[in-house]
């Protein structure tokens, strides 16, 4: 059970991965987000330079995506991009595995490419690995997640949630499956279609330790309404 607003905000990666967002739009997004104390803001790589001055001196981490949203770059390219982002003070990397290799069940490839990026993302920086569950055959979800964990993932992430690709929303059963296969020490990030407090709570109940959402502000405001006894806070 989520007890406090700080606990709720600490679960959320407040996300803006909109294609074509301007520098001013990203700066405004970051400025609006800072007072809520989210765990991290998750952005595209070219937006890092805009976000860093806004976040510097706050408790909010900066996460950046690598090979988003398709994951089809060579792993050497992914590792180089991750290393460059770490040089820019990014605290967390959200990388997408090669979706084609994952769908083929090439678990060795998945493990090796995650390991290559892990080498570029030294601890204490976090590596989150997106395995895009909605496009995987059901029988491969667990093995691909385990391969990502073996490669060095700190968290395994359910999905890009990238609506322009028509990816379905993440389901609680996706999270439960990951939790049943991964070590207790490996986190799970639920992302994709999580738009309200009830959906977030469902993911946490299923085993998510982090939630990616573009509506983090609205989710926290919904929490506040609930605490105030307002019926709008479902």
78 tagged catalytic: no
Peptide bond just before 2 cis, omega within 30 deg: no
Closest CA to 65 of 133, 175, 144, 159: 159
What is the distance between the alpha carbons of residues 48 and 56, in angstroms, rounded to a whole number? 12
In angstroms, how far apart are the furthest CA atoms of the chain?
A: 52
Reported as half-sphere exposure (CB side, CA atoms, 13 A), residue 5 has a value of 16
Q: Which residue carries 């595995």 as its tokens?
A: 97
Q: Which residue carries 């977030």 as its tokens?
A: 200
Q: Please say whether the beta carbons of 224 and 5 come within 8 A.
A: yes
Q: Which two tokens stand for residue 26?
A: 């990203």
Question: Which of 13, 128, 154, 189 does the annotation list as catalytic?
Answer: 189
154 tagged catalytic: no
157 tagged catalytic: yes
SS3 149: helix
- Alpha helix stretches (DSSP H) within the chain: 5-9, 23-33, 48-55, 75-87, 99-103, 107-120, 138-151, 172-181, 197-206, 216-227
Question: Which of 94, 128, 154, 174 does the annotation list as catalytic?
Answer: 94
**Which residues are catalytically annotated?**
94, 157, 189
């Amino acid at each position: 059970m989520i007890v406090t607003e700080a606990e709720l905000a600490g679960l959320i990666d407040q996300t803006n991965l909109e294609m074509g967002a301007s520098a001013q739009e990203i700066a405004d997004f970051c400025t609006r987000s800072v007072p809520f104390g989210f765990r991290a803001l998750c952005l595209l790589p070219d937006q890092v330079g805009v976000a860093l001055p806004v976040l510097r001196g706050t408790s909010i981490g900066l996460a950046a995506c690598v090979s988003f949203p398709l994951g089809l770059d060579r792993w050497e390219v992914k590792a180089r991009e991750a290393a460059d982002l770490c040089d820019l003070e990014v605290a967390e990397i959200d990388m997408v595995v090669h979706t084609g290799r994952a769908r083929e069940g090439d678990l060795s490839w998945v493990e090796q490419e995650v390991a290559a990026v892990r080498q570029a993302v030294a601890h204490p920086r976090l590596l989150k690995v997106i395995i895009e569950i909605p496009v995987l055959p059901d029988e491969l979800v667990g093995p691909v997640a385990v391969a990502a964990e073996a490669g060095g993932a700190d968290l395994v992430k359910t999905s890009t949630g990238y609506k322009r690709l028509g990816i379905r929303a993440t389901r609680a059963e996706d999270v439960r499956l990951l939790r049943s296969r991964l070590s207790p020490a490996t986190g799970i990030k639920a992302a994709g279609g999580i738009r309200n407090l009830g959906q977030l709570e469902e993911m946490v109940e299923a085993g998510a330790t982090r939630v990616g959402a573009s509506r983090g502000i609205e989710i926290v405001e919904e929490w506040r309404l609930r605490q105030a006894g307002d019926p709008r806070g479902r």
